[in-house]
Amino acid sequence: MADAKIYTASTTAPVNIAVIKYWGKRDTKLNLPTNSSLSVTLSQDDLRTHTTAACSSQFSADSLILNGEPQDVSGARQQACFRELRSLRAALEAADPSLPKLSTLPLKIVSENNFPTAAGLASSAAGFAALVRAIADLYQLPQSPTELSRIARQGSGSACRSLFGGYVSWEQGEAANGSDSLALEVAPASHWPQMRAAILVVSAAKKGVSSTSGMQATVATSALFPHRANVVVPERMVQMKQAIRDRDFETFADLTMRDSNQFHAVCLDTSPPIFYMNDVSRAAIRVVEEINRLAGKRVAAYTFDAGPNAVVYYLDENEDLVLGSLKGGLKGVPGWRASVTAEGVQGLD
């Protein structure tokens, strides 16, 4: 009689918010980017995906349930992750015939976000990082977070950065097969524990233009884009890594704000133009610029992804000043705080 056991593993994965932005693919199938990027992983207290992966001969087909809603798993992204993880498991099973043959069993993935999905809060990053880690744990794979980041990248580019906590780079790589396009830890969260991030939820609505289609429209039509990808970002990656190593908040803040603004500039330079920020987003920029002007130095840094919501980085010594000014200057916008997490994905079993 066939083994009808249900094997399970659960995990949580954090959101990461880029300070040097990923925008543009050189290979849309493998999610290979046109430039490297760098992010800060946020605390799981506020924003995280919880995922349970199960496999059993009792299941009839692969399935995925996100926030209680069945999702299509036939898409290339999910299929790529399932295929790669299964082949790693199959290699283990081939090397040790006493292992249960999990690689051939249907998978059932159940995932919950504790924040709005597809609202520009990096939900796909946490989602695919959790999916990959949960299945890797289910299969008891020995691969490192960097090795798993190659697989998570194929689910969603930014997901590769959520395999680590703290400060994480995604090195764009050169290989056509993506073997060197992976995430590396720049510094753990403990390196700079004073870092804080305030998330201002301007809108929880789904974004109008998906990142995947928006970035390809930018690659195809923006005249500014090649300069950003080929000249500006490579220099900024070097400077940002150094600023993090030196715990130099002024430089970190300057680069973060410039990079957010340049990302939104190439969106505006896309034809037709893409607008992710709105009037409240621009009001948040003005408040942060004013905080820094009054302080006489950069004590706060805004950044915006593919949506209107702001993330403002600051050091804990400036918390009262920054949060007080944001609340005073942006009446009615709920904000909350998330410290930088010490860990990336966490196995729960």
21 binds ligand 2P0 (CB under 6 A): yes
323 binds ligand 2P0 (CB under 6 A): no
Beta-carbon count within 10 A of 263 CB: 23
Place of tokens 């249907």: 106
Interatomic CA distance for residues 79 and 93, integer angstroms: 21
Sheet containing 37-41, strands listed edge to edge, beginning at the edge strand earlier in sequence: 16-20, 37-41, 167-171, 182-187
**Among residues 24 and 188, whose Cβ is nearest to ligand 2P0?**
24
**Among residues 37 and 149, whose Cβ is nearest to ligand 2P0?**
37
Instruction: Single out the segment in contact with ligand 2P0 by CB under 6 A; choices: 15-23, 129-137, 143-151, 244-252.
Output: 15-23
DSSP H helical ranges for the chain: 76-95, 123-138, 145-155, 211-221, 225-227, 233-245, 249-268, 279-295, 319-329
Beta-carbon count within 10 A of 241 CB: 16
**Among residues 51 and 158, whose Cβ is nearest to ligand 2P0?**
158
Task: Quote the least distance from Cβ 67 to ligand 2P0, whole Å.
Answer: 17
Beta-carbon count within 10 A of 36 CB: 21
Interatomic CA distance for residues 228 and 105, integer angstroms: 45
Residue nearest to ligand 2P0 (CB): 157
Helices (H) and strands (E) in the chain, counts: 9, 16
Of 280, 276, 282, nearest to 208 by C-alpha is 276
* Near ligand 2P0 by CB under 6 A: residue from 157, 165, 173, 308: 157
22 binds ligand 2P0 (CB under 6 A): yes
Task: Quote the least distance from Cβ 195 to ligand 2P0, whole Å.
Answer: 17
**Per-residue contact flags (x/-) with ligand 2P0 for residues 72 to 101, judged by CB under 6 A:** ------------------------------
**Among residues 33 and 335, whose Cβ is nearest to ligand 2P0?**
33
Task: Quote the least distance from Cβ 24 to ligand 2P0, whole Å.
Answer: 10
CB of 14 within 8 A of CB of 162? Answer: yes
* Near ligand 2P0 by CB under 6 A: residue from 12, 31, 43, 318: 31
* Near ligand 2P0 by CB under 6 A: residue from 306, 310, 312, 323: 306
Place of tokens 């998906």: 210
Task: Quote the least distance from Cβ 250 to ligand 2P0, whole Å.
Answer: 22
Site for ligand 2P0 in 124-153 (CB under 6 A): 124
Instruction: Single out the segment in contact with ligand 2P0 by CB under 6 A; choices: 16-24, 98-106, 238-246, 289-297.
Output: 16-24
211 binds ligand 2P0 (CB under 6 A): yes
218 binds ligand 2P0 (CB under 6 A): no
Token representation of residue 57:
């001969």
Query: What angle, rounded to 10 degrees, do the helices at 145-155 and 123-138 form?
Result: 130
CB neighbour class for 152 (10 Å; exposed up to 12, middle 13-18, buried from 19): buried
Task: Quote the least distance from Cβ 50 to ligand 2P0, whole Å.
Answer: 19
What is the binding site for ligand 2P0 (CB under 6 A)?
18, 21-23, 31, 37, 124, 156-158, 211-212, 305-306
